[in-house]
Chain A
Amino acid sequence: MNYTFIALVENRPGVLNRVASLFRRRNFNIESLAVGRTEDPEVSRMTVVVDCPNGEMDAHKIEANLYKLVNVIDVQDVTHQPSVTRDLALIKVMVGPERRAEVNGLAEIFRARIVDVAADSVIVEITGTEDKIEGMIELLRPLGIVEMVRTGQVSMTRGVNDGVRRVPGVNGSRYDDVSELAEMTP
């Protein structure tokens, strides 16, 4: 099954390559990988979705191996934690003016938006979980999808809940004292 990890890494050149190379070298299959800046300019954040056929054992392996990379600051597994997960897709559909309304109707149901209209095509932007996007793609496919791009999944845990950290003693919690933070929440 797929596991979702959030890795905080130093914002230095080549770190993405190090992470990708590690997954290749240790024979893990990446389903999706999204990288971006965080509130701290020195830290980047990756959301990595990986196929883990051996479940928890693989998840442990991935966490421990990520920590072997000097630039990796923190790794959490948020697969089973309450979290918000989003993926964004741009989908170009080949439709002339006569069927635009049909696309528009679908977009409304999925809370997607039409962000570009050309003479013979439209671009639909949809944000949501993987399932929701897959659902929309299936419905648009008969109309003629000619191009599609997806950002890959990004995740964030709800509240001050952290993900699971299996590797003992390394780095620990991102927050100095989680229980204290929990009490501060209204």
Chain B
Amino acid sequence: MKKTGAEIVWECLTREGVEVVFGYPGGANMPLYDAMLSYPVHHVLVRHEQGGAHMADGYARASGKVGVAMATSGPGATNLVTGIATAMMDSVPVVFITGQVAAHLIGGDAFQEVDVTGITLPITKHNYLVTRADEIAETIREAFYIARSGRPGPVLIDICKNAQVESCEFVYPDEVKLPGYQPVMHSPRNLMEDAVKLIEKAHKPVILCGHGVIMSKAEEALMQFAVKTQTPVASTLLGLGAFPASNELSLGMMGMHGEVHTNLAIQNSDLILAFGMRFDDRVTGTLKTYAPRAKKIHIEIDPSEMHKNVAVDVPLVGDLKTVLTDLIPMVDEYDHEEWKQEINNWKAEADKRSIMNWVDDGKLYVAHLVADIWKATGGGAIVATDVGQHQMWTAQYYQLEKPNRWLTSGGAGTMGFGLPASIGAWFAAKDQEIWAVVGDGGFQMTAAELTTAVQEGANIKVAIMNNNFLGMVRQWQEFFFEKRYSAVDMLTPDFIKLADAHGVPARRVTSPDEVNEAIEWARKTKGPVVLEFKVEREDGVYPMVPAGAALDQMMQRPVKAG
């Protein structure tokens, strides 16, 4: 049957199971938008393409499916760039479809022409420039396969306007032909045996649980492995939720703002089992003194991550779930009682300084607020954040039990991610409670998407932690630049009036006794809600490993006088 290129795009998207796309129309993708009206796909009109990219990203993280965002050529496509890079750094499967000027105009500086495949080459897993209608079906099939398989990531398809308009025979390809793309599933037996030997000898093992555990849906395999070998589990920022925080083997977050006992456990361990993570600098501190006595086993699907930052003893390239499932029957049971006790002692010592022990001094602290939201929601909400202090406090105090509930920009550290990501997540999980915990700085970067939330009736709760500072930069200036505050003191608009102008119910909270009631009000109110918390201005995130310091050289929270 003959169809136009634009129709073929939607034929393919519906066959890939796409139910919602986040986008913005313009000159070069109008044929796509016209054809869309005949297909059962819900389109979310965003207010800025960056918001659309983050929504597709949030949708993908919350659903485990591939997100889709669309934009027109030129500025529409360049506005996606930050969102594409965010998805790339965190290995999130998103397919971006951009319009491009007609093929015969390419290279001629036509109106709204930008070399989008050129710009996005380094920030996509793969990208395509489609100049003819008969290339579309095969390209979309490949794009979805590449986005979701192997180490997932964003794929961009730039479709020329003529290709959208022209007609051709539509055949949906049965299979993809990619001779150079065959993600490895199993690791070789001999290397697995080497790993087992290291596990046998270990007395102080630690598992480092990364985003790969969630991407590979290996949570159950991880649980089985950890329980069988009684190995404590530390999480990266993006690995949170893969292993239940309430489990006695859970150590919580590692790294720059990780728990004291977690970082000490890593530095003192004799075996590191790195599962689906990449030894990012925020996780290791200086590499010179990183886990000096530990042998290292690394299970990771991307071979280029092997030895990239940390040289490992046994590199197991493969799909984490597959490799772990192969490995579990090969390992013996252990108890590691002494080691667990040693870690627990560190924890008990560090807990003495916890901000949770502070008595009410009439001020609002983000850590307390996050813990209050955690209590009120029973720890089961989907939580999206921006980047900075509030992100770290949320990571520390919103203790997650399940995966696909933690939406945060880890690798790229993209401010403005939280609000749109939470809106995207709502389309993936309409029956679940969704919170966006954001800072006053990040919220202002993508605040226009509040209107999108209203138009769609997205049931999201936005908690703005307002300290009238760019808090994390302020904290660094306090610690490392002699408190010379430079461009961090930030005037914010009246967020209540701003929300009101959007038609969003909102409340400002200024003292601890109003907190729980406000949270309950927000939870009961249908649709988007904004809560603004006027928090302590100069609070710091602790513990903190200064950039370039050893992982066990942590600055701890000062003991509070009184």
B303–A167 touching, CB < 8 Å:
yes
Determine if A84 is an interface residue (Cβ-Cβ < 8 Å).
Answer: no
CB-CB contacts below 8 Å: B285-336 with A? 302-304, 306-308, 311, 315, 317-318
Most chain A C-beta atoms within 10 Å of own C-beta, residue among B117, B186, B188, B303: B303
What 12 additional pairs, Cβ within 8 angstroms, besides A17-B118, A64-B306, A73-B180?
A14-B129, A21-B122, A60-B306, A69-B180, A70-B180, A167-B303, A168-B303, A169-B184, A169-B186, A169-B318, A170-B184, A170-B303
Chain A binding surface SS class: mixed
Determine if A67 is an interface residue (Cβ-Cβ < 8 Å).
Answer: yes
20 contacts between A and B (CB under 8 A): A14-B117, A21-B121, A57-B307, A61-B304, A61-B307, A65-B304, A67-B304, A68-B125, A68-B304, A69-B126, A69-B180, A70-B126, A70-B180, A73-B180, A167-B303, A168-B184, A168-B187, A168-B303, A168-B317, A169-B317
Determine if A49 is an interface residue (Cβ-Cβ < 8 Å).
Answer: no
Residues of the B chain whose Cβ atoms lie less than 8 Å from the Cβ of A9: 180
A170–B182 touching, CB < 8 Å:
yes
Determine if B178 is an interface residue (Cβ-Cβ < 8 Å).
Answer: yes
Chain A positions near chain B (C-beta within 8 angstroms)? 9-10, 13-14, 17-18, 21, 25, 57, 60-61, 64-65, 67-74, 167-171
B180–A61 touching, CB < 8 Å:
no
Residues of the B chain whose Cβ atoms lie less than 8 Å from the Cβ of A71: 180
Determine if B191 is an interface residue (Cβ-Cβ < 8 Å).
Answer: yes
How many angstroms between the C-alpha atoms of A60 and B129 in the bound complex?
30
A168–B315 touching, CB < 8 Å:
yes
Chain B positions near chain A (C-beta within 8 angstroms)? 117-118, 121-122, 125-126, 129, 146, 178-182, 184, 186-188, 191, 302-304, 306-308, 311, 315, 317-318
A169–B187 touching, CB < 8 Å:
yes
How many angstroms between the C-alpha atoms of A64 and B303 in the bound complex?
6
Shortest CB distance B412–A (Å): 15
Most chain A C-beta atoms within 10 Å of own C-beta, residue among B118, B188, B304: B304
Residues of the A chain whose Cβ atoms lie less than 8 Å from the Cβ of B129: 13-14
- Nearest A residue to B155 via CB reads A70
A17–B121 touching, CB < 8 Å:
yes
A68–B302 touching, CB < 8 Å:
yes
- Nearest B residue to A67 via CB reads B303
- Nearest B residue to A66 via CB reads B304
Residues of the A chain whose Cβ atoms lie less than 8 Å from the Cβ of B318: 169
B180–A171 touching, CB < 8 Å:
yes
Residues of the A chain whose Cβ atoms lie less than 8 Å from the Cβ of B302: 64, 68
Residues of the A chain whose Cβ atoms lie less than 8 Å from the Cβ of B182: 170-171
Shortest CB distance A181–B (Å): 20
Shortest CB distance B90–A (Å): 16
Shortest CB distance A87–B (Å): 27
Residues of the A chain whose Cβ atoms lie less than 8 Å from the Cβ of B307: 57, 60-61
Residues of the A chain whose Cβ atoms lie less than 8 Å from the Cβ of B306: 60, 64
Residues of the B chain whose Cβ atoms lie less than 8 Å from the Cβ of A68: 125, 302, 304
Shortest CB distance B489–A (Å): 37
How many angstroms between the C-alpha atoms of A168 and B306 in the bound complex?
11
Report if A70-B317 is in contact (Cβ < 8 Å); known contacts: A14-B117, A14-B129.
no
Residues of the A chain whose Cβ atoms lie less than 8 Å from the Cβ of B125: 68, 70
Shortest CB distance A182–B (Å): 22
Residues of the B chain whose Cβ atoms lie less than 8 Å from the Cβ of A167: 303, 317
Residues of the B chain whose Cβ atoms lie less than 8 Å from the Cβ of A168: 184, 187-188, 191, 303, 315, 317
Residues of the A chain whose Cβ atoms lie less than 8 Å from the Cβ of B180: 9-10, 67, 69-74, 171
B308–A61 touching, CB < 8 Å:
yes
